[in-house]
């Protein structure tokens, strides 16, 4: 058996992931020609590199098809209903920082907090006859956040890209999206509410609870020792629950 480690297959996230492991004595690299998604691991035995889209890594972990994976903590929380029951967060990796925030037009001088947004949503519904629209692709995280803060009379509208433009295009009144510097928001005449963000995301190494670890315990122990992180104590061993 091999421990399968899923890593983002391209871009800065891949490079930073390779750097992070490299600094800890584990060399990850792509093999074959430039366009081929194949990789190799050196510096530790029994670990196989699987190159995947970062957005597919949560699902692959939850299915138990990979044992370990690097992806954004936001994607795991958004994609998996009961993420903590399916995955173990092993270590935050200190890069890929981004905040999931709620933003409204800068010209809304009467709105600074979710308390204000809730009041505006009530008045908006009375005036316009429909619920105030918040564009996002993070439906689960945003809905849970707004519910926890008691915001009502809103609706989430799906936006898979260029979300900051939806307000100007009159397809939403507010947005919830990932930002690191806030520049795109400002350029689109939006401002971030002053409340704590929906989620502060960063690249994180996860382990799955959905695969049987019994044949891979030694490999995992050696791997985490090499990385200088703690062995997760509550991984299921001998109970195969992979779907």
Please report, as ranges, the residues that interact with other proteins according to CB under 8 A.
Answer: 81-82, 105-110, 112-113, 115-116, 118-120, 122-124, 127-128, 131, 139-140, 143-144, 146-147, 149-150, 152-156, 167-168, 170, 172-173, 188-190, 194
Pick between residue 37 and residue 108 the one whose CB is nearest to other proteins. 108
Least separation in angstroms between residue 134's CB and other proteins is 9
Pick between residue 144 and residue 212 the one whose CB is nearest to other proteins. 144
Least separation in angstroms between residue 184's CB and other proteins is 14
Pick between residue 48 and residue 116 the one whose CB is nearest to other proteins. 116
Least separation in angstroms between residue 44's CB and other proteins is 36
**Residue 93's CB: how many other CB atoms inside 10 A?**
17
Which residue, chain included where needed, has tokens 């100007």? 168
Least separation in angstroms between residue 167's CB and other proteins is 4
Pick between residue 16 and residue 149 the one whose CB is nearest to other proteins. 149
Q: How far is CA 197 from CA 131, 159, 223, in A?
A: 22, 19, 34
Pick between residue 26 and residue 120 the one whose CB is nearest to other proteins. 120
Which residue, chain included where needed, has tokens 């998604």? 37
SS3 at position 217: helix
**Segments of 106-228 assigned E as strands:** 132-136, 154-158, 174-179, 190-192, 199-201, 203-208
Q: Name the region of 102 (left: φ>0; alpha: ψ -120 to 50; beta: rest).
A: beta
Taking the C-alpha atoms of residue 90 and residue 199, their distance in angstroms, rounded to an integer, is: 18
Least separation in angstroms between residue 173's CB and other proteins is 5
């Amino acid at each position: 058996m091999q421990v399968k480690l899923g890593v983002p297959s391209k871009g800065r996230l891949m490079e930073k992931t390779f750097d992070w492991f490299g600094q800890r004595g584990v060399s990850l690299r792509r093999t074959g020609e430039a366009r081929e998604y194949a990789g190799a691991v050196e510096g530790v035995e029994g670990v196989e590199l699987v190159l995947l889209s970062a957005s597919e890594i949560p699902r692959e972990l939850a299915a138990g098809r990979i044992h370990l994976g690097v992806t954004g903590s936001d994607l795991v929380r958004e994609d998996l209903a009961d993420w903590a029951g399916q995955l173990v967060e092993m270590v935050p990796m200190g890069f890929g920082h981004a905040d999931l925030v709620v933003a409204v037009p800068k010209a809304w001088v009467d709105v600074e907090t979710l308390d204000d947004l809730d009041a505006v949503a009530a008045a908006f519904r009375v005036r316009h006859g429909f619920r105030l629209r918040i564009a996002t692709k993070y439906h689960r995280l945003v809905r849970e956040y707004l519910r926890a803060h008691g915001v009502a009379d809103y609706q989430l509208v799906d936006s898979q890209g260029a979300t900051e433009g939806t307000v100007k295009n009159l397809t939403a009144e507010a947005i919830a999206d990932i930002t690191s510097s806030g520049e795109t928001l400002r350029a689109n005449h939006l401002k971030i509410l002053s409340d704590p963000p929906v989620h502060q995301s960063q690249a994180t190494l996860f382990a799955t609870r959905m695969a049987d670890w019994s044949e891979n315990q030694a490999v995992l122990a050696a791997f985490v020792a090499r990385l200088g992180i703690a062995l997760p104590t509550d991984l299921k061993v001998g109970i195969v629950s992979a779907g």
